[in-house]
Amino acid sequence: MPEWLADLQAQFQLNFIEKDRWRSLLTGLGNTMKITLFAALLGVAIGIVIAAVRSTYDNNKEDLKHKKSIGYYILGFFNNIVRV
């Protein structure tokens, strides 16, 4: 067996097999997947809120502008925030 392959096998044995170190890697992978799922769900939720505010403002700004209601200013305020 070539020396580099024997060294690779020894390193694999040391880093994964001994003392069940593979469990630490599996735990870390599980935590990474949880964080990724949470971040994706949070991103989708924020995207839905931004889309709802932008769409509502664009569809109703003319009607609200003529009435000069408080809703026009509130919706305009939130629209400017989500535009950023």
pLDDT score for 1 = 63
pTM of the model: 0.66
10-19 pLDDT per residue, tens: 888 888 888 8
Instruction: pLDDT band for 74, please (50, 70, 90 cuts).
Output: confident
Domain regions of the chain by residue span: 3-83
Burial class (CB in 10 A: 0-12, 13-18, 19+), 58: exposed
| Per-residue pLDDT tens digits for 50-66 | 999 999 888 887 877 77
